[in-house]
Amino acid sequence: MRGLDIVEAVGDGSVSLAELSERLGLTRATAYRLAGALVARDYLSFTPRRGYAPGPKLLKLGFQAQQASNLIQLALPAMDRLAEATLDAVNLGIMDAGMVLYLRQSPSRRRVVLRHEPGIRNPVRHTALGKSLVFAKGPEAWRALFDIPVEADAYGAWEAEMAKAMADGFTTHVETEGERVRCIAAPVIDAGGCAIAAISLSTLPQYVEDSELAGLGPLMVAAATEISRSIGRD
């Protein structure tokens, strides 16, 4: 926790060792040791006679957080309209460290509500969001999610599903246990043609049958395309 205190202390600009020690109530030796560890990991930088300041990794994290915040603000209008039209929850997610990270949800208008809280992570292969983030990347990215040849049979079915997603422009996923939540998703594409995010709609069998799920595809693609255009996609 003291390391985080030091990170917060440099948030407004360079801070000397003496200032760190005084602000945080630490001995100079302790402040020097903690700050030095953060410098070694690139979370802080150190300049003689100026002191400690945010380092490359901290600046990168801040930039990523700002990007995510901007993406959320640009995506929300289309997400809210889709949730209003379908009455179901609409989620926004990105790929982070090989997992799907949920950023925001436009809530369901149904009596039974499905929630994906911001910060939740799920495996790529087991979510419609994850599938939409991956399908446009091609077979090499698809195979990277499997232990071949151990999962060769499972990969064959996945490859066929991804090929269909490329043709359709959206993906689906239906849970086989529990509430049998079913989801449909479409990718958000940036100006460079990369899937930087995806949106998904989550619903339950009492509201949408399996046979009806794919029928929501055009709505998902239209909403994802609207968001893509808002971030610079032609």
Q: What is the pLDDT of residues 84-105, one digit of tens each?
A: 999 999 999 999 888 999 999 9
What pLDDT sits at residue 66?
Answer: 61
pLDDT tens column, 155-198: 889 999 999 999 999 999 998 887 889 999 999 998 888 898 99
Span 117-140, mean pLDDT? 90
Q: Which residues contact 76 (CB under 8 A, 6 or more apart)?
A: 104, 106
Average pLDDT over residues 109-115: 85
Q: Whole-angstrom Cα distance, residue 35 to residue 59?
A: 16
CATH number of the 2-54 domain: 1.10.10.10
pLDDT above 90 for 69: no
Per-residue confidence (pLDDT) for residue 57, from 0 to 100: 75
Question: What is the pLDDT at residue 199?
Answer: 97
- Phi and psi dihedrals of 195, rounded to 5? -80, 100
According to CATH, what is the number of the domain 64-230?
3.30.450.40
Q: Is the pLDDT of residue 211 over 60?
A: yes
pLDDT at 68: 67
What was the pLDDT predicted at 10? 79
Q: What is the mean pLDDT of the chain?
A: 87
Tokens (6 digits) for 188: 């958000």
Higher local confidence (pLDDT), 48 or 167: 167
Where in the chain do CATH 1.10.10.10 domains reside? Answer: 2-54
Q: Render pLDDT for 13-44 as a digit per residue (tens, 0 to 9).
A: 788 888 888 888 888 888 888 888 888 888 88
pTM for the structure as a whole: 0.73
Percent of the chain having pLDDT more than 90? 44
Q: Do residues 93 and 213 lie in contact, with contact meaning Cβ atoms separated by under 8 Å?
A: no
Q: Where in the chain is the domain with CATH 3.30.450.40?
A: 64-230
Which residues have CB under 8 Å from 183's CB, separation 6+? 127, 128, 129, 172, 173, 174, 200, 201, 202, 203
